[in-house]
Structures are given as C-alpha cells and as structure tokens.
Structure 1
C-alpha cells in the first residue's frame, strides 16, 4: 500500500513541477523540447511499478532456473550412484551363482577322489560379459572330510612324519588343481587351493 501511495505522489508532484516549468519557459522551440522531455519522464514514472515487477520476476526466474539446474544435477548424481550400486550387486550375484554352480559340479567327485569337502568357491573376473574367459582367479577353500572312527594312537617320529605330510599335501594340492582345472575348463595357474589347517597355494604350470 505504501508503494502505491508513493507512486501516485511522485506522479502528482512531477505533473505540478512540469506545469510550473511550462509556465516559466517562453514560447519557443525550447518549450516544445521541454514538453517532450517531461512527457517521457512522466511515462517512466508511470511505468516504474511495471519495471520493478518485471525485474523481480526476472530475478525470481533466474533463481528458479539455478535451483532447477542444481536439483537436476543432484538427481543425475543420485541416479548414477544407484546405477553403480545395482551393477555391483548384479556383478556379485552373477559371480556368486557361478561359484555355486562350479561347486555343485565338482564337490561329489572331489569327495570321492580326494576325500575333501569344497567349503566355498570365490571367483574374480574382469568382464562379466566375457565369462568364463575373463576369470582371473578362482579360490577354492577345502576342508578334510570328517571321519568319526577313532584311530589308534601310534608313536611316530615327528620330524620325518611332518616332512612326509608336507610332501603328501603338496602332491595332493597339485592333483586337486589338475582335477578342478579340467573339471571347470580353467588353467591351473588360475586356481588358488586353500585347505583348512594348511597353506594356500596357487598352482602354476
């Protein structure tokens, strides 16, 4: 309301001032130019509220555009983040299902031939679109088959027995790697055999 009062007051004051100037100026070309100038100034004063309105709307529009751009960028970043999460979940699921299938294919024969249980299979691959060619490594965790029978306690020479066990374990791991490589159509150097109670070993040609 105060803005409207100020606007009307400015118009009235300017009209009175223009009238006084018109009365004081002599009749000449100068008076004609003065009327043109005062008329233009009066039009400007009358249009001042509209100019302020347009300026305010323009600033608001700019602020709205900046907010929309910021919101759009935030939404794009959120979508990209969700996309990566979904891709990572899909990758993990595919590798997990492949590991389960490989385990199921080999566990019975592993038990029969090597008397060991496949506890888990972990697969690392570079490109899921090129499986199984893109597999970089397969880690196989094995445990000894449980035997409920009670063995008689025998006196053994610890040093020689330990060496014998190590040789047997190494040979057994090599045989296991050869069997799994053939079973899964992999190279032996892609396999890492880990036996519970023993050391992990990567088989190489």
Structure 2
C-alpha cells in the first residue's frame, strides 16, 4: 500500500510542477517544448511502477525461493516418513527371519525339518508390537533308523481322509508345547502339519 501512496504523491507533485512551470514561463515559442518536456515527465511518473519492476522482481524471486524452501522442507518430511516406514518394514522382515530361524532350531529337537513356515507378527505400534500372532508350518520327518511301526489313524470321511500317525500327533503336540513356552502363543493359532 505504501508503494501506491508514493505513486499517487508523485502524480500530485507532477501536477503542481506543471502548474508552476506554466505560470513561470510565458506561452509562446517555448510552449510546445515545455509541453513535450512535461509529457515526458508524465510518462516517467505514470510508468514508475513498471520501471521499478527490477526491485519487484527481486521481491518476487525472494517469495518464490521462500515457497520453494517450504515445499522442499515438506517434501523432505514426507520422504523421511516414507523412509521410516520402509525402514520399519525391513526391520519387521528381519525380525520375522530371525523368528523363523529360531523356530527351525527349536523344531530340530523333534527329529523333523521345517519345509515351510509362515509367521504373522503384530505390526501395529503399541504394547503388543512384535508378538507372534500365528504360525503356519509344514514339517517333514527326518529319515530315522527306528523300525518302530505305528498304525495310521484316519480322520474325516473317506473322500477327505487324512492319514495321521500317533507319532505325528505327538510331534505336533511337542512342537506346539515348545513354541507356546517360548513365544506365548495359543495352540489354536499354530497350524502344524507333518509329512513323510
């Protein structure tokens, strides 16, 4: 606003200057030169806002740089959050791998090998973050030299019967006890299947 008030003052000063010159200098041969001179001054006074654009340009550049800095800062914060999420996911994946490896070591005592394992971990931040929620695991028996033969038990109807030996049931039960003792997970959240 100060800029506009200065511009208006300059126009008023110009009008006063033209009136003063027209009263001081008599009209005659010089009047057309005086009109030319005062016209040029009028153009300069009116065009002052446009002629002072280099100063305005500097202010505009300053504002643009300020906005760019604000945008860059917000972008940096956004990227930081993204990297934090990626880093958290990598840490969770590493933790899952370590839990899987630990479960493989726990299960080796039962003379079985883990063929596949899928672990679900509580990934929500809070008190239970990182707890093992469920385990889905397939194990297979190691070749043993025991000649002990246990009769297979059929569970289910004939079309969907599963052949499970008493030895398989004992292995699954022992694995669930070991995992429950270490990870404090309910046996209902453990799905363990044994294959030959």
Count of matched residue pairs:
152
Determine the C-alpha separation between the residues in 2 that align with 1:92 and 1:72. Answer: 30
Structure 2 residue 58 is the aligned partner of structure 1 residue 62 = no
Determine the C-alpha separation between the residues in 2 that align with 1:20 and 1:99. Answer: 98
Counterpart position of 1:104: 105
1:153-168 aligned at under 5 Å gives the runs: 163=154, 166-168=162-164
The runs of at least 4 consecutive aligned structure 1 residues that moved more than 6 Å come to none
Q: Of 129, 136, 139, which aligns to 2:136? A: 139
Counterpart position of 2:10: none
- The answer as to whether partners of 2:107 and 2:113 remain within 8 angstroms in 1 is no
Determine the C-alpha separation between the residues in 2 that align with 1:173 and 1:131. Answer: 32
Determine the C-alpha separation between the residues in 2 that align with 1:187 and 1:174. Answer: 17
Cα 1:167–1:194, aligned 2, differ >3 Å: closer, same or farther?
closer
What is the TM-score when the length of structure 2 is the normalising length?
0.58
- The answer as to whether partners of 2:172 and 2:192 remain within 8 angstroms in 1 is yes
Q: Of 148, 157, 181, which aligns to 2:176? A: 181
Q: Specify which structure has the higher proportion of helix.
A: 1
Structure 2 residue 196 is the aligned partner of structure 1 residue 194 = no
- The answer as to whether partners of 1:110 and 1:118 remain within 8 angstroms in 2 is no
Secondary structure class of the residue paired with 2:65: helix
Gaps of 5+ in 1: 1-13, 26-40, 149-160, 198-205
Determine the C-alpha separation between the residues in 2 that align with 1:89 and 1:129. Answer: 18
Counterpart position of 2:30: none
Shift of 1:91: 0.7
Secondary structure class of the residue paired with 1:119: strand
Gaps of 5+ in 2: 1-13, 28-41, 146-151, 156-160
Cα 1:133–1:87, aligned 2, differ >3 Å: closer, same or farther?
closer
Counterpart position of 2:72: 71
Cα 1:120–1:134, aligned 2, differ >3 Å: closer, same or farther?
same
